Amino acid sequence: MNTTPQIAVIIPMFAGAHIPDALATSLAQQTISPHECVVVRGVSPNGRARNQGVAQCHAEWLLFVDDDAVLGHPQLIERMLVAAHNPGVGIVGSARILPDDAPKFQHAVAAQVARIINPIVPVDTITNPDPPSFYCNITTTCCLIHRSLFTLVGGFDETLTRGVDSEFFVRFRRITQRNIVQAGQTWVYHPAPATLRALWHKHVAYGIGHAQEVRRDPQRARGGNYFHTPLHAVLWLAMRTLLAPFHMIIPYSYGDPRWRVGWFPFKAVASYASAVGYCIGWYRS
């Protein structure tokens, strides 16, 4: 990069008047300083908030950061920009890890529940959300995209309550065929749900958002479409209810498709909450 590109940091904030000090400090310490910082306050859902942030800025590069994240080191933006300039790359994100002072409860949740955190990778790694899993390591907790590509795919879906990032990434791949990459040696600190109640509510919301996605794109249905009937969501919840006790011992996740044996109560709670949310979202949509 011969010249310093213009970067806009876009931060949705549903509550609060100011960017948290830790996030503000981590942005100020970057080796490549953002040209603009747009905070969108009190706008819901978060897809609409991010779209409004884009409309309020002018920079060529868009860096989306959640208000409860903290950039992990001063070279994060620089390394993400380098990755974004590689041929065929369209979106770049970072790892998410727990803050150093995270309590034991959050560590236990993160160890059991997929996508709470994702490991740091040593080198730039492609993580395209392609069929059949549609799984992607990065999220909009911290991700970078060029404005022209964001405009090309039409921005975020403002009708989704949750799952906005996964829907955007899948649509982005279908339209552009460009790779989505997790930049090597980059991370943000991001907390896990702090209570069992917060874990439940978070994953009920994820389930509602996923149902909305499946309504629009039946290919996204977990487990396939082989029982895609008017009673689809009820059957799904009934099956998950029967399996709930077993998931405490032998969990399975479409976001982490591997079998393990042990004691996973938080994983079981999160999975069942997602199923409840899916049933709610399916009939509410």
Interval 234-270: pLDDT, tens: 888 888 898 888 888 987 666 566 677 888 999 999 9
Do 87 and 211 lie in one domain? The reply is no
Contact between 66 and 156 (Cβ < 8 Å):
no
**Torsions phi, psi for 232 (to 5 deg):** -50, -50
Q: Is residue 166 included in any domain, yes or no?
A: yes
Do 143 and 258 lie in one domain? The reply is no
| Single-letter code of the amino acid located at 46 | N
Do 155 and 211 lie in one domain? The reply is no
Do 185 and 205 lie in one domain? The reply is no
**Angle, CA of 1, 72 and 39, to the nearest 5°:** 80
Domain boundary residue, one of 189, 224, 240:
189
Do 110 and 166 lie in one domain? The reply is yes
Do 48 and 164 lie in one domain? The reply is yes
CATH code, domain with 103: 3.90.550.10
| 89-97 and 70-71 beta bridge pairing | unpaired
Do 184 and 201 lie in one domain? The reply is no
Do 23 and 72 lie in one domain? The reply is yes
- 3-state DSSP call for residue 211? helix
Q: 59: Cβ–Cβ under 8 A, 6 or more apart, which residues? A: 5, 6, 7, 8, 34, 35, 36, 147
Do 265 and 169 lie in one domain? The reply is no
**Torsions phi, psi for 160 (to 5 deg):** -80, 135
Do 258 and 277 lie in one domain? The reply is yes
Number of domains in the chain: 2
Q: Is residue 132 included in any domain, yes or no?
A: yes
pLDDT tens track for 98-154 = 999 999 999 999 999 988 999 999 999 999 999 888 889 999 999 999 999 999 999
Return the closest-CA partner of residue 46 out of 158, 192, 205, 200: 158
Q: What is the pLDDT of residue 268?
A: 93
Q: What is the pLDDT of residue 256?
A: 61
- What percent of the chain is modeled with pLDDT above 70? 92
Q: Is the dihedral of CA 201, 204, 206, 208 positive or negative?
A: negative
Q: Which two tokens stand for residue 125?
A: 């790694």
CA 88 from chain center: how many Å?
22
Domain boundary residue, one of 132, 163, 189:
189
Provide the domain limits for residue 102.
7-189
pLDDT tens track for 43-80 = 988 999 999 999 999 999 999 999 999 999 999 999 99
Q: Is residue 1 included in any domain, yes or no?
A: no
Do 139 and 211 lie in one domain? The reply is no
Contact between 284 and 161 (Cβ < 8 Å):
no
Q: Is residue 2 included in any domain, yes or no?
A: no
Distance, CA of 70 to CA of 90 (rounded, Å) = 23
Do 203 and 130 lie in one domain? The reply is no
Distance, CA of 180 to CA of 202 (rounded, Å) = 25
Q: Is residue 257 included in any domain, yes or no?
A: yes
Q: Which two tokens stand for residue 120?
A: 């740091």
Orientation of helix 196-216 relative to helix 265-284, angle to 10° = 40
Domain boundary residue, one of 154, 189, 224:
189
